[in-house]
A and B are shown apart, each in its own frame.
Chain A
Amino acid sequence: MNYIALKMLMGNRAKYIGMIVGLTFASLLITQQASIFMGLMTRTYGFLTDTSFPDIWVMDPKVQYIDDLKPLKETESLRVRGVEGVAWAVPMYKGLLKARLRDGTFQTCIVVGLDDETLIGGPPVMLKGQLADLRSSDAVIVDSVGAVGKLAKVLPDGKRKALDIGDTMELNDHRAVVAGICKVQRTFQSQPVVYTTFSRATVFAPRERKLMSFVLVKAKAGQDVYELCRRIRRITGLAAYTKDEFEMLTVRYFMKYTGIPINFGTTVVLGFIVGVAIAGQTFYNFTQDNIRYLGILKAMGASDFMLLRMILLQAAMVGAIGYGLGVGFATCMGFLSGHTELSFRLPWQLLCISAVAVMMICAISAVVSMWRVVRLEPAIVFKG
């Protein structure tokens, strides 16, 4: 009877295609929007992903997310170093500074100041130059997207030329020389990222009493990092998080205090509703179209269980095809937008969630139809 069910399904081309289109659209909308949301959330902690070497990030207890900068006294790094279980602890500056471009315009940049001696916390991939080149006079390393885009030089003929090694720029009225080009994760606000040494960053930055943003900590071998976090908190009174904890803190902030989850969540829910509405309605109509034949099968001895199995198979069939197409389209869109500003991240968990959503749409559609079939009187066969 499975064969009969599938032939009945595919025999009604218009509704078959209608159901698949509905489910494809729903699957595409759910997967694509959720992927963009995931991409955006990933960008919120992109800087943490790039800075993976330290085990623990120490900061002011009031910090709520990665860009929420509440400076510490530089002496705090010494206090952290003194905590038992700490292998090393280095300061890091992170701040937003204005870069003056050649054409006189200004561009806000994320300036990261690395420990002068170790340069720990540097960019993960160097495209041109070396990290050690930061030790040159006035040296900075610029991220490739910023170098090509927002920080690019404007030539007299109006064309833009990417910043390259040896080019100069002004950071908060201080001369900076490009010593390298690096590749970093896109940031949430898509601002150029400029790396320099901690001491130079404090020169670039406006005068303040406290200038250190974070203390980056490495735990000694065998030291439980969570235990070390607790110890640092207890001894220094500062906040200490592992990288994963800091990522979650950041994501939670954006989830709680920005409208992003609501906006994307609304679209995802809308995709689900559209799926239920289109696929559910079409599937119900399809069952209605076939109700006479289902009645005949029932009269001829097909049990309710057999008919329900047929309907479930039909729903599963269109669901599988619609899901596959939708996820496929979403993946293609993500792939094609890989080099654009669009954030897109499609982990396997999202594929599972999308599959569950499509399954639910199919289940809801099938249940409504199944209810109709269970209540179907076989005597319908003799009605004109």
Chain B
Amino acid sequence: MIDTNSTAVYCKNVTKTYGVGNTQVHALSGVDLEVNSGELMMLVGPSGSGKTTLISIVAGVLDRDGGECVVFGHDFMRMNPNERTEYRGRNIGFVFQMFNLVPALTAAENVAVPLLINRVRRREAVERAREMLNRVGLGDRTTSLPKELSGGQQQRVAIARAMLHNPKLIVCDEPTSALDHETGYKVMELLREMVVGADCAFIVVTHDERIFEFADRIAKMDDGRIISVENLQRNFSDK
């Protein structure tokens, strides 16, 4: 039974297969996962274990083949493409490995994109984006283009972008892998602060063992399955 008050993501026996015939690959072979609001869940595991496929399904950018996956009480498979897109726009934030900031836009404009997608007026969106950049310590770089920012700064901008429209779920794909250790650590500190400040769920896909300490729980994946879930919440609370 799903507790819709605290359960952000509920996956049961989720399967996904790529290709057909001899080239068929079982990316997910019955994944069970539950992520709660206010929780930072890390998905770890070797390459090809199905981490990215799982967050793609959870974020509603990829269809599953079987099983059940409910995000805040909504099943993407029961939505039409427009409803799904709109739901993503309102409720899900993304942080990517390579930041994926639009090169032609300033930091503030990049951060403002989710609000613009949700039809907020540009002036208001950019104003709120500036405030968010202040929160992530980049208040003096609002007019900088991505190429004028360091990797760590770009990832902070990406985090600000993911947070601006107050999504219920934020999915992060390898957020520190393109950063050096110190910068990656600072980025995770920032993410952690955001988790504390916002009542939303974080799912972070990572290989980087050095940031495991920031997780509330760590789900280990292998061969398209979750093989263990480790609870680390106490460690972080002690910090």
Q: Real complex partners, A and B?
A: yes
Q: Identify the A interface with B (CB < 8 A).
A: 1, 3-4, 7-8, 10-12, 292-293, 296-304, 306, 377-379, 381-382, 384
A303–B81 Cα distance when bound, in Å, is 9
The 5 closest A-B pairs by CB, nearest first: A301-B89, A11-B104, A378-B61, A379-B62, A379-B61
Whether the pair A377, B61 counts as a contact (CB closer than 8 A) is yes
- Using A8-B102, A378-B61, A381-B100 as known contacts, say yes or no to A301 and B118 having CB atoms under 8 A apart: yes
Known A1-B117, A300-B94; 7 more pairs at CB < 8 Å: A292-B100, A296-B102, A299-B88, A303-B82, A377-B62, A378-B88, A382-B56
- The residues of A that contact B116 with a CB separation of less than 8 Å are 1, 3-4
The yes or no answer to B6 lying at the interface (CB within 8 A) is no
Whether the pair A382, B52 counts as a contact (CB closer than 8 A) is yes
Q: List 12 A-B contacts (CB under 8 A).
A: A4-B113, A7-B109, A296-B94, A299-B59, A299-B94, A301-B85, A303-B82, A377-B62, A378-B61, A382-B96, A382-B173, A384-B98
B144 to chain A, nearest CB (A): 14
Q: Which of A292, A301, A303, A379 has the most CB of B within 10 A?
A: A301
* Contact among B62, B85, B102, B173 with A303 in the assembled complex (CB-CB below 8 Å): B85
A299 to chain B, nearest CB (A): 5
Interface size class of B (residues with CB under 8 A): 20 to 34
Contact with A along B78-114 (1 / 0, CB 8 A): 0001100111111010101110101111000100011
- The residues of B that contact A292 with a CB separation of less than 8 Å are 100
Q: Identify the B interface with A (CB < 8 A).
A: 52, 55-56, 59, 61-62, 81-82, 85-90, 92, 94, 96-98, 100, 102-105, 109, 113-114, 116-118, 122, 173
- The residues of B that contact A8 with a CB separation of less than 8 Å are 102, 104-105
A292–B103 Cα distance when bound, in Å, is 11
- Using A379-B62, A382-B61 as known contacts, say yes or no to A302 and B89 having CB atoms under 8 A apart: yes
Question: Chain B residue with minimal CB distance to A299?
Answer: B61
A296–B89 Cα distance when bound, in Å, is 11
Question: Chain B residue with minimal CB distance to A292?
Answer: B100
Q: Which of A1, A4, A304 has the most CB of B within 10 A?
A: A4
Whether the pair B85, A302 counts as a contact (CB closer than 8 A) is yes
